C-alpha cells in the first residue's frame, strides 16, 4: 500500500500537537522523522485517507471505490463527484487507540533523544579550552653590594659580604673603585668565596675570583659565579702607617 505525502504530513502534525518538539528542531531531523512515520504507520495513514473521504460508493452497485477512480471496478458504471462519500472508518476503535499510543511513544522517544543531544552539545560548550602552560620567562635582578665610601686603616682590611642565590643564570659582579691616601694612593681589591675568606683572615694563600693588585683605581668584573657566599675585600695591610679612603661601587646582577 502506498502512503501519500499529505497523509504523512497530517499524522506528523497531529503528533507534533500531542508531543511539542524542543527548540532547535531542524530540517534533517524532520526528514528522518517523516521517513519513520512512512515505514511504521501505514495503517494509520490509510485510516486518515478513509476518514478524510478518499473513497466513494457506486450509485449502481453500491460497492466502495477509490475516490480517484472514474469508473466502478465492479459494474463499470461511471463514478460522479456526487457519489456518496465514505466517511465511516472500518478500523476498530481499539486499533486506533493502540496506533495513536504507539505514535505518542515514538514521538516521546524522538523528543527524548533530541533533548539528550542538546544537553550533550551544551556540556561540550561548557568544557573549558585547553590552556597550554608557559613557563615564566627569567627576569633580570640587580643588587647593590657596597655603600659608596670606605676608610681602611693602616695595616688593616675591610670587606662586603654578598650571596649568589640558587637557580639563577648570567651571574655577574661589576663595579669600580678609587683609592686616595699615602704616597701611592693605592689599595688592593679581591673577590673571595667562603673558603678563601677564612684563609685570607688567617694569612694563608687563598683563591681569588678577582684580584686587582696594588692600584689607585680599577674596574671590578666577574662573571659566572656559582651559588654561594662571597666577599669583596679592600686590603690595606701593606701600608703600615697610612690609612686609605676608597670610593667603591659594585653591583650583583643575574637572571631568575
Q: Which among 38, 29, 31 is positioned nearest to 4, based on CA atoms?
A: 38
* Residue 91 pLDDT grade (very low, low, confident, very high; cuts 50, 70, 90): low
Q: Which fold has domain 140-255?
A: Jelly Rolls (2.60.120)
Arithmetic mean of pLDDT over the chain: 80
Residue 193 has pLDDT above 90, yes or no: yes
Return the pLDDT at 38.
52
Q: Read off the pLDDT band of 145 (50, 70, 90).
A: very high
Strand duo 55-57 + 64-66: pairing: antiparallel
Sign of CA pseudo-dihedral 12, 13, 17, 23: positive
Would you place residue 131 in the very low, low, confident or very high pLDDT band (cuts 50, 70, 90)?
confident
pLDDT at 95: 80
- In the chain the first and final C-alpha atoms are separated, in Å, by 83
User: Tell me, what's the pLDDT at 124?
Assistant: 75
The answer to whether the predicted template modeling score (pTM) of the entire model surpasses 0.85 is: no
Residue 49 CB contacts under 8 Å (≥ 6 apart), including other chains:
4, 7
Position 56 scores a pLDDT of 80
Domain-wise residue ranges, the chain: 5-122, 140-255
Residue 207, pLDDT > 80, answer yes
- C-alpha 229/C-alpha 197 separation (Å) is 10
167 secondary structure, DSSP code: S
pLDDT at 194 over 90: yes
pLDDT (mean) for 44-50: 46
CA distance 91 to 43: 9
- Report which of residues 17 and 199 the model is more confident about: 199
Q: Which helix (H) or strand (E) holds 34?
A: helix 27-40
d(CA 121, CA 108): 20
Closest CA to 209 of 195, 194, 225, 198: 225
Amino acid at each position: 500500500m502506498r502512503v501519500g505525502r499529505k497523509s504523512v504530513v497530517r499524522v506528523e502534525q497531529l503528533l507534533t500537537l500531542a508531543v511539542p518538539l524542543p527548540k532547535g528542531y531542524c530540517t534533517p531531523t524532520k526528514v528522518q522523522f517523516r521517513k519513520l512515520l512512512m515505514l511504521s504507520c501505514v495503517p494509520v495513514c490509510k485510516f486518515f485517507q478513509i476518514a478524510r473521504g478518499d473513497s466513494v460508493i457506486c450509485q449502481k452497485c453500491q460497492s466502495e471505490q477509490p475516490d480517484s477512480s472514474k469508473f466502478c471496478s465492479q459494474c463499470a458504471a461511471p463514478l460522479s463527484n456526487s457519489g456518496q462519500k465514505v466517511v465511516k472508518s472500518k478500523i476498530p476503535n481499539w486499533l486506533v487507540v493502540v496506533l495513536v499510543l504507539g505514535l505518542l511513544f515514538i514521538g516521546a522517544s524522538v523528543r527524548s533523544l533530541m533533548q539528550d543531544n542538546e544537553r550533550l552539545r551544551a556540556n561540550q560548550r561548557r568544557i573549558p579550552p585547553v590552556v597550554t602552560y608557559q613557563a615564566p620567562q627569567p627576569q633580570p635582578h640587580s643588587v647593590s653590594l657596597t655603600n659608596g665610601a670606605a676608610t681602611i686603616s693602616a695595616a688593616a682590611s675591610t670587606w662586603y659580604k654578598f650571596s649568589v642565590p640558587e637557580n639563577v643564570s648570567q651571574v655577574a659582579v661589576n663595579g669600580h673603585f678609587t683609592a686616595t691616601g699615602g704616597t701611592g694612593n693605592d689599595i688592593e681589591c679581591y673577590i673571595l668565596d667562603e673558603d678563601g675568606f677564612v684563609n685570607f683572615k688567617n694569612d694563608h694563600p687563598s683563591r681569588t675570583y678577582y684580584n686587582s693588585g696594588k692600584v689607585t683605581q680599577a674596574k671590578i668584573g666577574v662573571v659566572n659565579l656559582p651559588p654561594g657566599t662571597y666577599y669583596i675585600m679592600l686590603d690595606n695591610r701593606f701600608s703600615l702607617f697610612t690609612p686609605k679612603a676608597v670610593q667603591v661601587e659594585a653591583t650583583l646582577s643575574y637572571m631568575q
